[in-house]
Structure formats: C-alpha cells, structure tokens
Structure 1
Amino acid sequence: MFITKILLIEDDTTLNYYLSDLLKSSGYLVEQCFDGINGLALAQTQQHQLILLDKMLPKLDGVSLLKTLRETSQQPVIMISAKGAEEERIIGLTHGADDYIAKPFNSQELLLRIEGLLRRSQAHTQVNKQIEISIDGLTLNSAKQKISVNNQNVEFTTIQFKLLWELMSQPNKTVSKADLYQAVLNKKLGAYDRSLDMHLSRVRRKLNEANWLGERLQTVHGKGYCFK
C-alpha cells in the first residue's frame, strides 16, 4: 500500500506538532523539520509527495529555500505564512509555490488543499510524460525547468515556465484564461485580475530579447491565449 509522505518545515514547535498529528491522523507519513537549512537538505535528499513550508524560518527563510529547491525539484509545495496580504501570496507563488495558505487557517481547509494538490500532481505525473518541447529553436525541458533559444539558456521564473509550457504543449489551440489561471497560478480567474496578462507580457519580452518571435504567443480577446 502506497503511503503519501509529507515534509513539514515549520519553526513554531507547537504548530509543527499539531500539524504533524493532524496529518498523521489523516493517513499521511510526516517528516518534521524546524529550520530552513535542514529543511532544504531533507527536501533535496529525500523523496516527498508534498512539502508544507513556513515562510518565516530561522537559518534560511522559506522563499530562499523554495528558490533553491526549484532549481532541481518540482515537488509540490504549499507555503504557510502569518501574513495574508496579496503581495505575500504572489511572492510565494512567483518563486514556485503551488499553493499558499495564511495563518490562522482552518485545519479542514488545509487538508482539502493538500488533497487537491496531491490529486493534481499525481494526474500531471501520469498524463504529462513529455519532458521536452522544442519548436523552431525554442526548447523547454520540464525535468530541468530550463528554457533555451537556439541552445542559449534564457532565464524565466517558475510561473513563466509553466505558462509557456501550457501554451507550447497545445500549439494552435486557444487555451482559456480560466484554465491557465488554474494550471499556472493555481487559483480561479478573478473579474479584475490581470496578473496572467502581466506574466505573458514578460514572457513575450524575454523571447524577443533572445531573438525569438514572442508575438507567437497571441491573445485571443475574450477567450484566452494561443501559441501559433
């Protein structure tokens, strides 16, 4: 029988043990850690199906830990923070968090978010066996999270990589904004939310700067985006 293993990185001892007991009672195997340095070492050397990561940690903060981890691993990560401001959530997601929950949070909501992220991660692993996409000199490697133009590496954030991957893996197909928000930003599309437009604009600019035609990422007004 397969048991899901979760790495819990939280420096608040009381909360760490509370969450550990909550997760264990829900059938998960839990590995506890209380600081960023040891948390990063465990994340890099052990295989976990999900990581619960506090943003404010001693020795190495959660965002720095996540940035380093994303250089080599795409393990699902839910970031936990005492700060619920929108900019804090965006910082976490920009640097590679798959989800974000602010303290104080409802235990049932946390468990549902964990279940949802694990379900999406497992489905993605089963369905998306493609590791590399290459079109006209633009190459994306999902295992290494690398993007290159004519064999020259180009720096992209995790969100930008996800956005470009989603569009390039479905060429000439209009992908709805709602689907992209869920797949790339892990949230529902808001009526006045323009964050995906901002990310797409930056991807276009970086491609143009690398002498690749960024305008091939087209906006289909009222519907979504399309890679031509």
Structure 2
Amino acid sequence: MQNRILLIEDDDELRGLLARYLAGQGLDVREAANGGDGLALAQEEFVDLVVLDIMLPDINGLEVLRRLRGRTRLPVILLTARGEETDRIVGFEVGADDYIPKPCNPRELVARIQATLRRVAWDRETDTDHAQVVGDLRIEPAQRRTFQNGQPLELTATEYEILQVLLSKAGSVVRKTDLMQWALGRRLAPHDRTLDMHVSNLRRKLDDGKLEDGEPSRIETVRGLGYSYRSPA
C-alpha cells in the first residue's frame, strides 16, 4: 500500500516538480496550493504525512500547522526559506516534526519523508497496551499518550520519540548522534540544530511551572556529548 503524502505549496512549478518526483518514488501525492485547501484535504482524506510550505498566500503555514495540531498528531515536515531560523524555531514550538530549507533537493525531501514514515511505522509495530510509569510520567504506547501527574502532555510525534529514548536510558548519557538516529531516523549533520530545538521544547513542556529556583531540568545537557534524563526527586 502506497503512503499518501499531502503537499501544501503555493508555487505551482515547485509543487508540480516535487509531486512528480514523490510519485516517481512510489508515494501517493495529494496537492494543495493554499492553506485553506490543505486543511480541508487533511481533514477529508486519509494521509500519512504533510509537507507544508511556511509562506502561503491565504493562511500562513505556521497557522496551518497550529490548526493541524489542534486536530491531529500527523507528522509534518516544513518547507522553510533558507536561513530563516526563526521560522524553524517557531515551527518546532508549534509542533513540526522536521524541516527542509528551500530550494530543496527532492531526493533529500524523499529521504526525510521515508525516515519519518519508517519511524512512525516502527512505533506502531512495537507499541503495546502496557503503560510505562517513570516517576511522575505515565506513557501509554498504544495511544501514544503521555501524562504528567495525571495531566496529559501535548507532545509532537518527534518529542514523544525523544522522550521514549531518554526514558529508556534514564540516568545515562544518550549521545546526540544516537538520539538523532533513534528518534528522528536520520544522521546528525554539522550545524543541524533540529534535535536541540526539539529537546528544548520537550524540556519546556516537562518543566514548565514545576521547577524550584535553581533546580536543574530533568533533561540535562551533557556538553559535548548529548542528553541525560534524571527522574525528579
């Protein structure tokens, strides 16, 4: 069965080029030229992943992402202007799973899509009905839900993966290269801050309003190596 991709891009030439390339790689592509049509397609049709341009003529891509996140945890890859780090940071804060700068290499886009789809498929195969409890956190793999002190945590698919890896290695250092491969399904490239942004957002959600003055975060940065999860006392 072909994976169905929703491509939301207002540049007709680029959208057509990417759609043809993705189709040539065995993906079933649905296209939208603006945010409104993209939201409608995401709601009306079953899709496995969304490729979303930030610069759209009617609804800003980040607003489209916010509305999607209000309805679904569907994986989303952003198309961003090269060098616009602010857009990428906000995109991750809103709930993007990955990004690729424009103009993008179609081959790299396919690689990012396939890595994300493999990760999601692997999670579905390995999820069980048994809840995992670590300190004040409760993980329900079958529904991919996370609770902290009984309250639901709204995590993106990527944040959920990162947390799962860190919890499985609680108390030990997880190297950034390993965490990138295990959680995002791709290698860590030089100057790529994608993982750092996801961890920052995850840390904020776990610690927001719960830390005493001077108390370290439960996700500690081990400079030059990676990250370590410590259960709160």
Class of the TM-score when normalised by the shorter of the 2 chains: 0.7 to 0.9
The one-letter amino acid of 2:188's match is K
Question: Hey, what does 1:23 align to over in structure 2?
Answer: 22
- 8 A Cα contact 1:4 1:49, kept in partner: yes
Match of 2:204 among 202, 205, 211: 202
Report the CA distance shift for 1:97/1:185 in structure 2 as closer, same or farther (over 3 A): farther
- 8 A Cα contact 2:127 2:141, kept in partner: no
Gaps of 5+ in 1: none
Question: Hey, what does 2:148 align to over in structure 1?
Answer: 149
Give the superposition deviation at 1:52: 1.2
TM-score (norm 1): 0.75
d(CA) in 2 for partners of 1:131, 1:31: 36
The one-letter amino acid of 1:47's match is F
Report the CA distance shift for 1:208/1:164 in structure 2 as closer, same or farther (over 3 A): farther
Paired residue secondary structure (2:47): coil
- 8 A Cα contact 1:219 1:226, kept in partner: no
Report the CA distance shift for 1:83/1:179 in structure 2 as closer, same or farther (over 3 A): same
Is the counterpart of residue 224 in structure 1 residue 210 in structure 2? no
Give the superposition deviation at 1:20: 1.7
d(CA) in 2 for partners of 1:162, 1:106: 26
Give the superposition deviation at 1:9: 0.8
- 8 A Cα contact 2:92 2:201, kept in partner: no
1:1-228 alignment to 2 at 5 Å? Answer: 2-129=1-128, 132-140=131-139, 147-153=146-152, 161-182=160-181, 183=183, 188=188, 195=196, 198-199=200-201, 202-203=204-205, 205-206=207-208, 208-209=210-211, 216-218=218-220, 222=225, 224-228=227-231
More displaced 10-residue stretch of structure 1: 116-125 or 96-105? 116-125
TM-score (norm 2): 0.74
d(CA) in 1 for partners of 2:97, 2:103: 19
The one-letter amino acid of 1:37's match is G
More displaced 10-residue stretch of structure 1: 136-145 or 44-53? 136-145
The one-letter amino acid of 1:206's match is D
Percent pairwise identity: 33
- 8 A Cα contact 1:82 1:103, kept in partner: yes
Q: How many residues align?
A: 225
More displaced 10-residue stretch of structure 1: 129-138 or 27-36? 129-138
Give the superposition deviation at 1:80: 1.0
The one-letter amino acid of 1:175's match is V
d(CA) in 2 for partners of 1:130, 1:85: 41
The one-letter amino acid of 1:205's match is D
Give the superposition deviation at 1:10: 1.0
